[in-house]
Amino acid sequence: MKERRRFKKTPVDEREVVFYAEHGGYFPNFEGLIRELTQRHDKVVSYITSAAADPILDAPPDGVRSFYMKDSLPLQMAFIDCKVFVMTLTDLNQFHLKRSAHPVHYVYVFHSLVSTHMMYRAGAFDHYDSVLCAGPHHVEEIRRREEQQGLAHKQLVEAGYFRLERIRDRYREFGERPSAAGRTTVLVAPSWGEDNIIESCGDRLVRMLLAHEYNVIVRPHPETRRKSPRLLDALEQEFQSADGFRLERSVATDDSLLEADVLVCDLSGVALEYALGTERPVLFLDVPYKVKNPEFGALGIEPFELRTRPEIGRLISLDALDSVPDEVAALIERKDEYRERIARLRQECVFEPGRSAEVGARHILGLLEGRTKDRGQRT
């Protein structure tokens, strides 16, 4: 109740633009936009988080007013009065989080480079007014769905993907440093769900890589940490004394992506961030697809995360799990070849490299100032 009153008492000009994050790991997706709005354009923005331990609550950046809302969020969302509401959360207006009764313009920011139609539910983006698209595939997929379903056209902004830029910039600073103890570092960073790598073969995979004297970092998806903490505790207990093992329980930093020589993944969006950000290859284990929309094939577009796998690495079946150490070594031998292929892919498939924050902020400012289409009232 206290946080609700605090937000309502915030001056109107300090909540013209409101950002919402489900957990603390999403700030890196907003960081560029917020910095551009507050530092370059002197705006004050509000930031609502549903994570009680989110660092932004205790130490918000200059120009940011931070608030914690969880249980009261659905009620607040239904009546929130601001001009622009920015989210990475999909399924607006489909479940408990509804559009406001006020004429708010909703802007979606992608937190992954994956396609919109397989790993997300049908209609996941239908109720946004604007979408800051990371690449041409997002534009093509959203427009195709609008045509098939007879939906009003949203504003699709060719904005790029700030998190990728952040990884790229940090990797340039990090450079080609030797791995710890002169050993190759393998990052295991799967998606979440019952068929992900950790659930299906995590202990066996880690044991095998350690036996071949690789450093192994396990970076579980936030949903795995939330839904399967005992599984992670068991994994940590089994390997915590092993030389070269580390379990990373937070995705708030990109350090492990910078350290790893090879990523082992299933179908997580982190594979695209890692490969396009560091130009290093990925070894994919062929687990069943995580399909949130069983009718995704009706769009007639191959998902980006499937189409790009041959360009950024190799795919092997779980039946060939014993070959993982050798496959890792083979990918490292071909790292120069992959670097060139991945650089070309990034140039073709990601909008506005280095300028995503500028482009996105310009769109939001246009909404505030009436230079772009006025706020919508979708149903």
Q: What is the pLDDT of residue 373?
A: 60
Q: What is the pLDDT of residue 43?
A: 97
Q: What is the pLDDT of residue 375?
A: 45
SS (H, E, C) the chain: CHHHHHHHCCCHHHCCEEEEECCHHHHHHHHHHHHHHHHHCCCCEEEEECCCCCHHHHCCCCCEEEEECCCCHHHHHHHCCCCEEEECCCCCCCCCCCCCCCCCEEEEECCCCCCCCCCCCCCCCCCCCEEEECCHHHHHHHHHHHHHHCCCCCEEEECCCHHHHHHHHHHHHHCCCCCHHHCCEEEECCCCCCCCHHHHHHHHHHHHHHHCCCEEEECCCHHHHHHCHHHHHHHHHHHCCCCCEEECCCCCCCHHHHHCCEEEECCCCHHHHHHHHHCCCEEEECCCCCCCCCCHHHHCCCCHHHHCHHHHEEEECHHHHHHHHHHHHHHHHCHHHHHHHHHHHHHHHCCCCCCHHHHHHHHHHHHHHCCCCCCCCCC
Distance set, CA 317 to CA 115, 171, 258, 371 (Å):
23, 30, 26, 52
Helix 162-174 to helix 27-35 angle, to the nearest 10 degrees?
90
Cα pseudo-dihedral 170, 175, 180, 181, rounded to 10: -170
Q: CATH 3.40.50.2000 region(s) of the chain?
A: 169-349
Tens digit of pLDDT at every position of the chain (379 positions): 345 458 888 999 999 999 999 988 889 999 999 999 999 999 999 999 999 999 999 999 999 999 999 988 999 999 999 999 999 999 999 999 999 999 999 999 999 999 999 999 999 999 999 999 999 999 999 999 999 999 999 999 999 999 999 999 999 988 766 555 578 999 999 887 777 888 888 889 999 999 999 999 999 877 767 767 787 888 888 998 899 999 887 776 788 999 999 999 988 899 999 999 999 999 999 988 889 999 999 999 999 999 999 999 999 999 999 999 999 999 999 999 999 999 999 999 999 999 999 999 999 999 999 866 654 444 4
241-276: per-residue pLDDT in tens? 899 999 887 776 788 999 999 999 988 899 999 999
The 10 Å Cβ neighbour count of residue 147 is 10
What distance separates the 2 farthest-apart alpha carbons in the chain? 61
Q: What is the pLDDT of residue 191?
A: 82
Q: What is the pLDDT of residue 250?
A: 73
pTM above 0.85, yes or no: yes
CATH classification of 2-161+353-369 is 3.40.50, yes or no?
Answer: yes
Q: What is the pLDDT of residue 38?
A: 98
Contact indicator for 18, 46 with CB cutoff of 8 Å: yes
Distance set, CA 295 to CA 124, 145, 154, 301 (Å):
13, 12, 22, 12
Contact indicator for 275, 282 with CB cutoff of 8 Å: yes
Pick the CATH number of 169-349 from 3.30.365.10, 3.40.50.300, 3.40.50.2000, 2.40.30.10: 3.40.50.2000
